[in-house]
Amino acid sequence: MNKQRLFLASCVALIATAMSFAIRGDIMGDFEQIFALNKTNLGWIAGAAFWGFGLSIYIGGPLCDVLGMGTIMRLAATGHIGGTLLTIFAPSFPVLFTATVIIGIANGLVEAAINPLVATIYPNEKTRRLTALHAWFPGGIVIGGVLSFLFTQIGLGWQAKMLLMLIPSVIYTVMFIGQQFPETERKAAGVSSGEMMAQLARPLFVVIFISMCLTAATELGAGQWYANVFNEVMASTARAGILVLVWVNGIMWVMRQFFGGVSHRVSPVALIAVTAVPAAAGLYLFSLAGSPLTAFAAAALLALGTAFWWPTMLGITSERFPRGGALALAIIGGTGSFATAIAGPVMGYLNDRFGPREMLAIWAILPVVIALIFLVIYMRDRATGGYKVEMLQTRAGV
């Protein structure tokens, strides 16, 4: 088993997932005009991929134990390539919605497989490796966002931008060919299905489940609207709003790639509690921004606040509930996806009702709630001896 190749291929697969997010954010304005959509319907398109994303994580996570992670990744590659081509040739809104859901399903299968894969091959450094892996979600958004902006400047349309999706999709397909995949950590340790299911009823898991809704809606829910809000509020004729998305995710990539080890030096719970404060401030200040400079400054604060959230939530799940295996990771990842899907039309409704600035100001309430929840968890951990990582042994005792 080539751990390094499996890890690198997983990173490329996540780049494909992220590029779909960035490119869709850039071409939302095209869809709005071509299909005559209001903001609420536009929000449904923005969230469509996340419905497929969440559903396939829920299904794909448990299937990792049954079919193997290699099979799940092959299905993901088929969805990425097929969904991209269907989007390009979509003749109507229903077909476009379907194609977006297919890409979302592929994104979810990637998430369902690579999280337990990395947690399995690096059992002693789960959160750090998951953070390094998920650095390539914002990294992929930067790649997709910059290329989309350049394509706009040279006059290439939205179909050409979608074709970019095929590049990382083909690369990770080739990289996974012929590779040996391990059993999932839960299966290798001989943990029964009943014991795995029991983890989901633990009170702390329920709290983490609810918290994932809030962290994902703050990070990815708002992220779907950066470009659209900036272009509208700042009246950007160059459609430079995509650069706000690039800016935010560039900062997040740096934080995850070079500072991911912070989760092993402080409690991951404390990390989320503390970083929720700048996240709330960034969202609120973005709603007040009166110039591109202040908008980018507020976006930077938001990026610093949310940079570690998604991988840290997965890390907490894997470290505190290892007997939950791929299922527990799938439920947390899928919950984040569904929360983002719901956030799309909700934020679209708030945009239609109150305007883009007020929409962001209202959304700033979510990270305040996150800070309070994780502060309570942190205090509970301190009262019971601190943050504890649970370890599993394989059947061979290794």
pLDDT in tens, 145-191: 889 889 988 988 889 999 999 999 999 999 999 899 988 767 766 77
At 93-104, the pLDDT tens digits run 788 888 888 898
Residue scoring higher pLDDT (277 or 97):
277
Please give the sequence-ordered ranges of beta strands (E in DSSP) within 132-179, or none if there are none: none
Q: Phi, psi (5° rounding) for residue 136?
A: -85, 0
Is the pLDDT score of 238 beyond 60? no
Q: What is the mean pLDDT of the chain?
A: 86
- Whether 279 contacts 90, CB under 8 Å: no
Q: How far is 379 from 373, CA to CA, in rounded Å? A: 10
Q: How far is 316 from 370, CA to CA, in rounded Å? A: 15
207 CB burial (10 A radius; 0-12, 13-18, 19+): middle
